[in-house]
Amino acid sequence: MKSTFVQILLASLCVLPITALAQNGDAALPAAPSAASAANTAPDPSAAATGVKLGTINIEAAIFQSNEGQRDFEALSKKLEPKQTELKGMNDEVESLKKQLNTSGANLSEDAHANLVKQIEQKQKLLERSVQDARDDAQNQQNEIAQRILQKMAPIIVKYAGDRGFGVIMDTSNPWPQGPVLWAGPSVDITKAIVDSYNLQSGVPAPARPVTTRPASTTTRPTNPAATKPATGGQPPK
Protein backbone atom coordinates (compact mmCIF):
# COMPACT_ATOMS: atom_id res chain seq x y z
CA MET A 1 0.00 0.00 0.00
CA LYS A 2 2.72 2.26 -0.47
CA SER A 3 1.98 5.06 -2.94
CA THR A 4 -1.23 6.87 -1.96
CA PHE A 5 -0.98 5.81 1.65
CA VAL A 6 2.47 7.26 2.16
CA GLN A 7 1.59 10.45 0.26
CA ILE A 8 -1.31 11.03 2.66
CA LEU A 9 0.91 10.38 5.64
CA LEU A 10 3.65 12.69 4.44
CA ALA A 11 1.14 15.42 3.69
CA SER A 12 -0.35 15.06 7.16
CA LEU A 13 2.80 14.68 9.23
CA CYS A 14 6.30 14.57 7.79
CA VAL A 15 8.24 16.70 10.27
CA LEU A 16 7.30 18.36 13.51
CA PRO A 17 9.11 21.71 13.73
CA ILE A 18 9.86 23.24 17.06
CA THR A 19 7.31 26.02 16.48
CA ALA A 20 4.49 23.46 16.23
CA LEU A 21 5.46 21.96 19.55
CA ALA A 22 5.39 25.34 21.25
CA GLN A 23 1.76 25.96 20.27
CA ASN A 24 0.50 23.53 22.91
CA GLY A 25 1.06 24.60 26.48
CA ASP A 26 1.13 20.98 27.69
CA ALA A 27 3.82 20.24 25.13
CA ALA A 28 6.02 23.21 25.97
CA LEU A 29 9.72 22.63 25.58
CA PRO A 30 11.76 22.36 28.79
CA ALA A 31 13.97 25.24 29.77
CA ALA A 32 17.48 25.24 28.38
CA PRO A 33 20.03 23.76 30.82
CA SER A 34 22.49 26.02 32.53
CA ALA A 35 26.07 26.19 31.34
CA ALA A 36 27.28 24.24 34.37
CA SER A 37 24.78 21.42 33.97
CA ALA A 38 25.38 21.28 30.23
CA ALA A 39 29.08 20.82 30.79
CA ASN A 40 28.41 17.81 33.05
CA THR A 41 25.91 16.19 30.69
CA ALA A 42 26.96 13.69 28.06
CA PRO A 43 26.13 14.74 24.48
CA ASP A 44 22.74 13.59 23.25
CA PRO A 45 23.26 11.31 20.23
CA SER A 46 20.11 12.73 18.65
CA ALA A 47 21.39 16.34 18.81
CA ALA A 48 22.83 17.71 15.58
CA ALA A 49 25.74 20.11 15.39
CA THR A 50 23.28 23.00 15.43
CA GLY A 51 21.95 21.92 18.82
CA VAL A 52 18.53 20.85 17.48
CA LYS A 53 17.46 17.48 18.89
CA LEU A 54 16.36 15.22 16.03
CA GLY A 55 14.10 12.16 16.14
CA THR A 56 12.60 9.74 13.64
CA ILE A 57 9.39 7.76 13.44
CA ASN A 58 8.06 5.28 10.92
CA ILE A 59 4.52 6.59 10.74
CA GLU A 60 3.31 3.77 8.53
CA ALA A 61 4.67 1.11 10.88
CA ALA A 62 3.28 2.94 13.92
CA ILE A 63 -0.23 2.90 12.43
CA PHE A 64 -0.13 -0.72 11.32
CA GLN A 65 1.50 -1.99 14.53
CA SER A 66 -0.90 -0.24 16.90
CA ASN A 67 -3.53 -2.49 18.45
CA GLU A 68 -6.26 -0.50 16.73
CA GLY A 69 -4.50 -0.72 13.38
CA GLN A 70 -4.00 -4.48 13.65
CA ARG A 71 -7.64 -4.94 14.61
CA ASP A 72 -9.10 -2.75 11.87
CA PHE A 73 -6.85 -3.93 9.04
CA GLU A 74 -7.52 -7.56 9.97
CA ALA A 75 -11.25 -6.83 9.88
CA LEU A 76 -10.85 -5.20 6.47
CA SER A 77 -8.94 -8.21 5.18
CA LYS A 78 -11.81 -10.51 6.21
CA LYS A 79 -14.34 -8.11 4.68
CA LEU A 80 -12.55 -8.29 1.34
CA GLU A 81 -12.30 -12.09 1.24
CA PRO A 82 -15.59 -12.62 -0.69
CA LYS A 83 -14.42 -10.24 -3.43
CA GLN A 84 -11.09 -12.08 -3.63
CA THR A 85 -12.94 -15.36 -3.98
CA GLU A 86 -15.10 -13.90 -6.74
CA LEU A 87 -12.10 -12.59 -8.64
CA LYS A 88 -10.25 -15.85 -8.27
CA GLY A 89 -13.22 -17.63 -9.83
CA MET A 90 -13.21 -15.20 -12.76
CA ASN A 91 -9.47 -15.69 -13.20
CA ASP A 92 -9.81 -19.48 -13.11
CA GLU A 93 -12.50 -19.29 -15.80
CA VAL A 94 -10.24 -17.25 -18.08
CA GLU A 95 -7.33 -19.62 -17.54
CA SER A 96 -9.57 -22.62 -18.29
CA LEU A 97 -10.65 -21.09 -21.58
CA LYS A 98 -7.03 -20.34 -22.50
CA LYS A 99 -6.09 -23.92 -21.75
CA GLN A 100 -8.95 -25.11 -23.93
CA LEU A 101 -7.70 -22.90 -26.77
CA ASN A 102 -4.15 -24.17 -26.41
CA THR A 103 -5.06 -27.84 -26.29
CA SER A 104 -7.89 -28.10 -28.84
CA GLY A 105 -7.76 -24.86 -30.81
CA ALA A 106 -6.25 -26.56 -33.85
CA ASN A 107 -9.20 -28.94 -34.05
CA LEU A 108 -11.83 -26.19 -33.96
CA SER A 109 -13.49 -24.73 -36.99
CA GLU A 110 -12.47 -21.24 -37.97
CA ASP A 111 -15.70 -19.76 -36.58
CA ALA A 112 -15.50 -21.74 -33.33
CA HIS A 113 -11.86 -20.75 -32.89
CA ALA A 114 -12.66 -17.07 -33.46
CA ASN A 115 -15.59 -17.21 -31.03
CA LEU A 116 -13.44 -18.79 -28.34
CA VAL A 117 -10.73 -16.17 -28.80
CA LYS A 118 -13.32 -13.39 -28.57
CA GLN A 119 -14.82 -14.92 -25.43
CA ILE A 120 -11.42 -15.08 -23.76
CA GLU A 121 -10.63 -11.46 -24.64
CA GLN A 122 -13.97 -10.22 -23.31
CA LYS A 123 -13.71 -12.14 -20.04
CA GLN A 124 -10.10 -11.10 -19.53
CA LYS A 125 -10.93 -7.41 -20.02
CA LEU A 126 -13.79 -7.75 -17.54
CA LEU A 127 -11.46 -9.45 -15.08
CA GLU A 128 -8.81 -6.75 -15.41
CA ARG A 129 -11.38 -4.00 -14.79
CA SER A 130 -12.77 -5.89 -11.79
CA VAL A 131 -9.27 -6.37 -10.36
CA GLN A 132 -8.48 -2.67 -10.69
CA ASP A 133 -11.81 -1.68 -9.10
CA ALA A 134 -11.14 -4.06 -6.20
CA ARG A 135 -7.65 -2.65 -5.71
CA ASP A 136 -8.94 0.92 -5.70
CA ASP A 137 -11.69 0.06 -3.23
CA ALA A 138 -9.27 -1.74 -0.91
CA GLN A 139 -6.80 1.15 -1.14
CA ASN A 140 -9.49 3.69 -0.26
CA GLN A 141 -10.64 1.70 2.75
CA GLN A 142 -7.05 1.23 3.95
CA ASN A 143 -6.45 4.96 3.61
CA GLU A 144 -9.59 5.75 5.63
CA ILE A 145 -8.40 3.55 8.48
CA ALA A 146 -4.89 5.00 8.37
CA GLN A 147 -6.11 8.60 8.32
CA ARG A 148 -8.45 8.02 11.26
CA ILE A 149 -5.67 6.53 13.37
CA LEU A 150 -3.17 9.17 12.30
CA GLN A 151 -5.46 12.01 13.36
CA LYS A 152 -5.56 10.57 16.87
CA MET A 153 -1.89 9.63 16.94
CA ALA A 154 -0.51 13.01 15.79
CA PRO A 155 -1.18 14.84 19.10
CA ILE A 156 0.56 12.02 20.98
CA ILE A 157 3.62 12.42 18.77
CA VAL A 158 3.64 16.19 19.29
CA LYS A 159 3.34 15.89 23.07
CA TYR A 160 5.97 13.16 23.26
CA ALA A 161 8.40 15.21 21.19
CA GLY A 162 7.71 18.38 23.16
CA ASP A 163 8.11 16.73 26.56
CA ARG A 164 11.50 15.37 25.53
CA GLY A 165 12.83 18.46 23.82
CA PHE A 166 12.84 17.27 20.23
CA GLY A 167 13.13 20.04 17.66
CA VAL A 168 12.32 17.90 14.61
CA ILE A 169 10.70 14.50 14.08
CA MET A 170 11.20 13.03 10.61
CA ASP A 171 9.17 10.26 8.99
CA THR A 172 11.15 7.22 7.81
CA SER A 173 8.23 5.36 6.20
CA ASN A 174 9.88 5.87 2.80
CA PRO A 175 13.49 4.65 2.57
CA TRP A 176 16.05 6.95 0.99
CA PRO A 177 16.17 8.21 -1.75
CA GLN A 178 12.36 8.28 -1.87
CA GLY A 179 12.31 9.57 1.71
CA PRO A 180 14.23 12.44 3.31
CA VAL A 181 16.31 10.38 5.77
CA LEU A 182 19.53 8.86 4.45
CA TRP A 183 20.39 7.12 7.72
CA ALA A 184 19.31 7.27 11.35
CA GLY A 185 20.36 5.16 14.30
CA PRO A 186 17.88 3.28 16.49
CA SER A 187 18.60 5.56 19.44
CA VAL A 188 16.62 8.42 17.84
CA ASP A 189 13.65 6.31 16.69
CA ILE A 190 10.48 6.90 18.71
CA THR A 191 8.15 4.55 16.80
CA LYS A 192 7.75 1.94 19.56
CA ALA A 193 7.29 4.56 22.24
CA ILE A 194 4.50 6.20 20.24
CA VAL A 195 2.81 2.86 19.55
CA ASP A 196 2.90 2.01 23.27
CA SER A 197 1.50 5.42 24.21
CA TYR A 198 -1.22 5.20 21.57
CA ASN A 199 -2.24 1.71 22.69
CA LEU A 200 -2.50 2.93 26.27
CA GLN A 201 -4.66 5.89 25.30
CA SER A 202 -6.89 4.03 22.81
CA GLY A 203 -7.69 1.23 25.23
CA VAL A 204 -7.83 -1.28 22.37
CA PRO A 205 -6.49 -4.63 23.62
CA ALA A 206 -3.67 -6.37 21.82
CA PRO A 207 -4.83 -8.93 19.23
CA ALA A 208 -4.50 -12.61 19.99
CA ARG A 209 -1.87 -12.93 17.26
CA PRO A 210 0.05 -9.62 17.03
CA VAL A 211 0.90 -8.40 13.53
CA THR A 212 4.44 -7.04 13.39
CA THR A 213 4.27 -5.74 9.83
CA ARG A 214 1.61 -4.10 7.72
CA PRO A 215 -0.59 -6.46 5.69
CA ALA A 216 0.97 -7.30 2.37
CA SER A 217 -0.69 -5.62 -0.56
CA THR A 218 -1.32 -9.05 -2.08
CA THR A 219 -3.84 -9.77 0.66
CA THR A 220 -6.29 -7.56 -1.17
CA ARG A 221 -5.20 -8.38 -4.69
CA PRO A 222 -6.53 -11.30 -6.69
CA THR A 223 -4.33 -13.29 -8.97
CA ASN A 224 -3.49 -11.30 -12.07
CA PRO A 225 -4.63 -12.81 -15.35
CA ALA A 226 -1.99 -13.91 -17.81
CA ALA A 227 -0.70 -10.99 -19.78
CA THR A 228 -0.39 -12.96 -23.02
CA LYS A 229 -3.35 -12.36 -25.27
CA PRO A 230 -4.86 -15.39 -27.06
CA ALA A 231 -3.91 -15.93 -30.66
CA THR A 232 -6.26 -14.53 -33.26
CA GLY A 233 -5.16 -16.69 -36.16
CA GLY A 234 -6.27 -20.14 -37.12
CA GLN A 235 -3.55 -21.89 -35.11
CA PRO A 236 -3.40 -22.05 -31.31
CA PRO A 237 -0.53 -20.19 -29.65
CA LYS A 238 2.56 -22.15 -28.77
Query: Whole-angstrom Cα distance, residue 118 to residue 122?
Result: 6
What whole-number distance in Å separates Cα of residue 47 and Cα of residue 49? 7
Contact 54, 16 (CB under 8 A): no
Average pLDDT over residues 88-103: 93
Mean pLDDT of the chain: 76
* Percentage of residues in the chain having pLDDT higher than 90: 56
Task: Name the pTM for this structure.
Answer: 0.65
Q: What is the pLDDT of residues 17-55, one digit of tens each?
A: 323 333 333 333 333 344 344 344 444 555 544 568 999
Distance CA 135, CA 220 (A): 7
Question: How far apart are alpha carbons 149 and 198 in whole angstroms?
Answer: 9
Nearest CA among 96, 160, 169 for reference residue 127:
96
Neighbouring residues of 18: CB distance < 8 A, sequence distance ≥ 6: 29, 52, 167, 168
Position 219 confidence tier, pLDDT thresholds 50, 70, 90: very low
Calpha distance 4→22 (Å, rounded): 30
Does the pLDDT of residue 4 top 80, yes or no? no
Bond from prior residue into 30 cis (ω within 30 degrees of 0) = no
Q: Tens digit of pLDDT for each residue in 207-218?
A: 886 554 454 443
In the prediction, which pLDDT does 109 show? Answer: 87
Task: Tell me which of 125 and 108 has the higher pLDDT.
Answer: 125
Q: Quick one: which H or E segment has residue 171?
A: strand 168-171
Residue 16: CB atoms within 10 A of its CB come to: 23
